[in-house]
Amino acid sequence: MIKKVVTLLCMQLALCCTSFAANYLTFTAEEDSSAFSIEDHDIKSNIFYSLDNGKTWNKLTDQPVKLAKGDRALLKGTGPNQKPSWRNYSTFKMEGSIAASGSVMSLVDRNGEGETIPYAYCFYKLFENCTRLTQAPELPATTLAENCYYKMFNGCTSLTQAPELPATTLAGKCYWEMFSGCTSLTKASKLPATTLTGGCYCGMFSGCTSLKQAPQLPANTLVGGCYCGMFSGCTSLRQAPELPAKKLTEGCYYAMFDGCASLTQAPELPATTLEKKCYWWMFKGCTSLTQAPNLLAKTLAEECYREMFNGCTSLTHTPELPATTLAEGCYGGMFSGCTSLTQAPELPATTLAEGCYNAMFRECTSLIQAPKLPATTLAENCYYRMFSGCTSLNKAPELPATTLAKWCYRYMFSGCTSLTKAPELPAKTLAGSCYYGMFDGCTSLTQAPELPATTLAKNCYCEIFSKCTSLTKAPELPATTLAEGCYMEMFEGCTSLTQAPELPATTLAENCYQWMFLGCISLTKAPKLPATTLAKYCYYKMFIGCTSLTKAPKLPATTLAEGCYDSMFGGCTSLTQAPELPATTLADYCYHEMFSGCTSLNKAPKLPATTLAEKCYYGMFSGCSNLAYIKVAFTDWGTGTDNWLEGVAENGTFICPKNLLIKHGENFIPKGWKVVNEDISK
């Protein structure tokens, strides 16, 4: 009997010692009606729980385990029966308020004593969106695995303190977005590692809006994307950590402090050799940042400073930019949206790179003076939107280049509403879209620069003076050979323009004059249009909305093209006389809505074509409420007259050949109109 009692006591003692030795992951309820469960995503988690201090264990499923205030649950496991991934993982679901303690390693080694994470994605999303988790468990591992803690506590909005992270050797993306969205987190973990791996801290504390102080980052050697978005959206962060690294890697600081609206001082950046995208978006949206760090590099890398200070609305001074050797997109959007910036840095480079100054000072609404731009040979997109939206800029820099590149000046001064004078543009050889929208929305511009080029390029002057509402006179346009879309929307919205330039070209190109004078409500006279051979949509909406235009130019062309006159005079409400249309062979959509909305037009031009093309007269006179006379030569309605006389005068005269079938309706002859059969050749 005594022997049995001793044996039983020894067994209980052994059990007690085993329970004591193990460091199980433990959930403690902090309020009644708390509960937890596991949700498996294409994986079997093999997790067990005990509510009696390890005496009995039950398999954890998606059925909630209920806890009263003060109740504890121990958890252990052997890991899933297959390796997890971003598709196959398990997530705890919690109700009420729960504090975690003990080692998370008990889920993979049964007792929580291990310090080596056995496989990639081991704890991926384990506590994601556990919004009432108040305390994180111990994370004792010193040997990590790729993506092991990826999004582990993502969205844990009640978590105030991050657990210790003792690992000094990291693994690829190991802490990626680990605490992202932990909006109550006020204290970050210490990060002692000096040897980093790709993306290791990427997004680690992103969206931690209560975090005021960043941990020290002692690493001197960086790797690709290591600090990418690390503190993005930390709106309470006031001080950045020191960044001692002098040797950078691709994307190492990408968006590191993006949206840190309380950050007032940037860390020193001692690197003199840059890498691709190394500082991209680094301080974007840091609205309290007043001073930028020194930037020492003289040789740049692709997109190295791209949007680095974008949206830093309190930044008043820029750092010196000593580089003379540029790289593709190197300064793209660098100071975009810096609304307090009054002076730009010097830009000494004479050899440019593709997109190098792309949107560099876009929306810098306080910038008064632009830097000198000495380059004489340009690169594709080099000045694209460089000063777009700089509403205080009243003087443009000199632009000495005579050799242009594709898109080089595209929207360069778009929205510069204080700019009164344009710089000289001496180039005689153009490139595709080179001046596209260059002065778009420069509402104070009263004088346009000379445009001496006689050989044009595709879309070269497209939108160049669009919405320049103070421009009264257009520059001379001497080119006689056009290019596709060359004058498209050139003077669109120039509401003060009273005189159009001469257009001597006799050889047209597709879309060449499309929307050229759209909305020029002060234009009273149209230029001569001598071309006899047209191109697709060449005059498309050329004078649409020119409400002061009283007379149309002669249109001598007899060889038409698809959509060539489409909506050409649409909405010209003062037009009283239409031009002659001598062509007898039509093209699809050639006169489509040509005079739609011309409410002062009372007589249509003769239409001598005997055979119609598809939609050729579609909506041609729709909305011409005073039109009461039309004479046609076609003998078959075909498909060319849809809505062509919709909304014309209630009474009028329709003259047509005898063999045309008389049909009434908006697609044919208006009701109430008198029909007269006549030989159209007379």
Q: Report if residue 421 sits inside a domain.
A: yes
User: CA 109, CA 90: separation in Å to the nearest integer?
Assistant: 16
Q: How confident is the model at residue 9 (pLDDT cuts 50, 70, 90)?
A: very low
Reply yes or no on whether the pLDDT at 6 is more than 70: no
User: CA 347, CA 297: separation in Å to the nearest integer?
Assistant: 13
524 lies in the same domain as 554? no
Q: How confident is the model at residue 282 (pLDDT cuts 50, 70, 90)?
A: very high
342 contacts 366 by C-beta, under 8 angstroms: yes
What does pLDDT average to over the chain?
A: 94
555 lies in the same domain as 524? no
400 lies in the same domain as 500? yes
> pTM score, two decimals?
0.87
Which structural domain, as residue segments, surrounds residue 121?
Answer: 19-154
513 lies in the same domain as 583? no
Q: Report if residue 555 sits inside a domain.
A: yes
Reply yes or no on whether the pLDDT at 83 is more than 90: no
Reply yes or no on whether the pLDDT at 511 is more than 50: yes
Widest pairwise Cα distance in the chain: 136
User: CA 26, CA 546: separation in Å to the nearest integer?
Assistant: 77
Q: Report if residue 113 sits inside a domain.
A: yes
Q: Report if residue 584 sits inside a domain.
A: yes
Q: Report the 3 state secondary structure along 164-223.
A: CCCCCECCCCCCCCCCCCCCCCCECCCCCCCECCCCCCCCCCCCCCCCCECCCCCCCECC
Dihedrals phi, psi of 559, to nearest 5 degrees: -110, 110
Reply yes or no on whether the pLDDT at 33 is more than 60: yes
User: CA 591, CA 605: separation in Å to the nearest integer?
Assistant: 12
586 lies in the same domain as 503? no
Q: Report if residue 261 sits inside a domain.
A: no
Q: Report if residue 121 sits inside a domain.
A: yes
603 lies in the same domain as 654? yes
User: CA 186, CA 389: separation in Å to the nearest integer?
Assistant: 38
Reply yes or no on whether the pLDDT at 18 is more than 60: no
Reply yes or no on whether the pLDDT at 609 is more than 80: yes
Question: Once rounded to an integer, what is the mean pLDDT over residues 434-447?
Answer: 97
pLDDT tens digits along 521-579: 999 999 999 999 899 999 999 999 999 999 999 999 999 999 999 999 999 999 999 99
483 lies in the same domain as 595? no
User: CA 303, CA 431: separation in Å to the nearest integer?
Assistant: 24
Angle (CA) 647-652-657 rounded to 5° is 110
Cα 335 → chain centroid: 16
504 lies in the same domain as 558? no
Domain count, the chain: 3
Q: What is the DSSP string of 225-268?
A: TTTTTTTTT-TT--BPPP---SB--TTTTTTTTTT-TT--BPPP
Of 132, 154, 176, which marks where a domain is finished? 154
Reply yes or no on whether the pLDDT at 17 is more than 70: no
pLDDT tens digits along 386-419: 999 999 999 999 999 988 999 999 999 999 999 9
134 contacts 168 by C-beta, under 8 angstroms: no
208 contacts 182 by C-beta, under 8 angstroms: yes
The terminus-to-terminus CA distance of the chain in angstroms comes to 136
pLDDT tens digits along 305-350: 999 999 999 999 899 999 988 999 999 999 999 999 999 999 999 9
428 lies in the same domain as 503? yes
Of 108, 132, 154, which marks where a domain is finished? 154
Of 154, 175, 196, which marks where a domain is finished? 154
563 lies in the same domain as 505? no
Q: Report if residue 574 sits inside a domain.
A: yes
Q: Report if residue 572 sits inside a domain.
A: yes
Reply yes or no on whether the pLDDT at 157 is more than 60: yes
557 lies in the same domain as 662? yes
CB atoms within 10 A of CB 664: 13
502 lies in the same domain as 559? no
pLDDT of residue 82: 79
